[in-house]
Amino acid sequence: MARREDPAGSWGSGGAELLPPGHRVGDWTVGEPIGAGGWATVYAGRPADRPHPPDGAADGPDRPEVALKVMPTAGLAPRQARNVAESARREVDLARRAPHPSLVRLLDSVVLAAPERPSLDGAIVLVMERARCSLRDLLDAGVTEAEGGRLIAGICEGLAHLHRSGWVHTDLKPENILIGRDGEVRLSDFGFAIELTGTHGWTAPMGTLDYLPPERWKEPLGDRGVRVRATADIWALGIVIHEVFTAGASPFPGATPTARGAAVQAYAEGRASLRMDHAVPEFWRALAADCLAPTHEARAPHTAESLLARIRAHESGRRRRRPLPRLRTAVLALTACAAAAGGAALWSYTGGRTDGEGPGTVRVFNAERGCQDRTDRDRQCSLGLAIDPRQPYTADNVVPTRVWHGDLLDADCHLPDGQPIIDEEDLRSTVWFRVRLPRADAEPATAWLPAVRTRDRPELPRCAR
């Protein structure tokens, strides 16, 4: 949600007290708070006919969780209450008229009637599918180039659908880009979304400063607000692309959003050049530069559709250029041929070969060629070790300790039927090695390395778990 001053005082921090766990909201019950903004607080929730799991128990298909976005209206001035109601109406309208797999699903909407609790009476509640995390959470943990490209393609798919449907998001940023339980991208928070009338629409003069295009800083304010067009989302996408490959860093210098806004205006007026971080790979640097063209007219040719087509062509070209993996045994060669019809080649564990320093040692392998010769242990080239090899290999299933190409790890057993993983060379495997972490003080002491992240096949016993 866009950052704004909270007109109700301290709703964002006080929402957890107003809606305690177990409170009934229509057909749903409230869980713990999971996010807050100026106009709303978001809680975990679940169907009222299903009990909450014990503390620490995992969610599952028999206990589906949702997100309850609670937007209070009590205590607001009439105009502010209308703004809240209009924001909720836009989210509902867009969700019902333009659903898409790359947009977060709206499941229900409720207006609370609670005369005995004036602070809740009239609050609007939007019930949405609950995501696993936001893109901001992933950026804090760091992503590979391949994963970053997949995420950006998902964002473009959502934007292309929005723009085809005649809507502009107007507040695209990592906090509003969610990662679903299936690992796919979901655009969210459409309270600022604007339906276009012809080539443009009108919006209130607000938004998140770091993602506003240059023209928004000087757009005249009329009776209907300020003019907004689809190229505003393209500008924000350029900022997001840069952030994906730089752990969240903006391409514009400055210690505050206002200072970065001044840098944006200097760039748009030709007084400064666009300087992107060298961590942004060449293809993505060019794509971001087109998104960050300084004027609406210069950005207009770079639609979400055309950007998505460029990404798909780039990824297709990368796959064609990848050398075939050197499979060392007849068994592996036959396995790869059999798997080729299904997509990725299958990495098969037979044991008997290791380039490590002993039979229980594996050397980490990063298929990203740009990371193989680096010795600076840059986080962009690090790899994660899983906590649980049978759960999705995602940011919330990774231990804090990172590893890099060439690291030697002690391994004590192998698991043949873990989560399937496909690496950058399209090798697929369900095999995982349990390894001891390189740091003596690491918590936990062991973690799991997917077999596609090493070229070693040590003879190890099967893990007991």
Q: Which tens digit of pLDDT belongs to each residue from 228-261?
A: 899 999 999 999 999 999 999 999 999 999 999 9
Side-chain-facing half-sphere of 416: CA atoms under 13 Å? 8
What does the block give as tokens for 210?
Answer: 């770091």
**Domains of the chain, first to last:** 11-130 (3.30.200.20), 134-316 (1.10.510.10), 330-453 (no CATH)
Question: What is the structure's pLDDT at 271?
Answer: 94
Q: Report strand pairing: 421-422 vs 408-415.
A: unpaired
What's the whole-number mean pLDDT along residues 309-328? 65
What's the whole-number mean pLDDT along residues 398-412? 91
Taking the CB of residue 289, how many other CB atoms lie within 10 A of it?
Answer: 17
Helix or strand (DSSP H, E) at 217: none
Tell me the pTM.
0.62
Residue 90 in this model has a pLDDT that exceeds 60:
yes
Contacts 24+ apart (CB under 8 A), 413-418: 413/460, 413/461, 413/462, 413/463, 413/464, 414/349, 414/451, 414/460, 414/461, 414/462, 414/463, 415/389, 415/390, 415/448, 415/462, 415/463, 415/465, 416/349, 416/462, 417/390, 418/389, 418/390, 418/448, 418/450
Residue 152 in this model has a pLDDT that exceeds 90:
yes
Question: What is the structure's pLDDT at 269?
Answer: 93
Q: How big is the CA angle at 425 (ends 419 and 430), to the nearest 5 degrees?
A: 20
Angle between helices 304-321 and 282-291 (to 10 degrees): 170
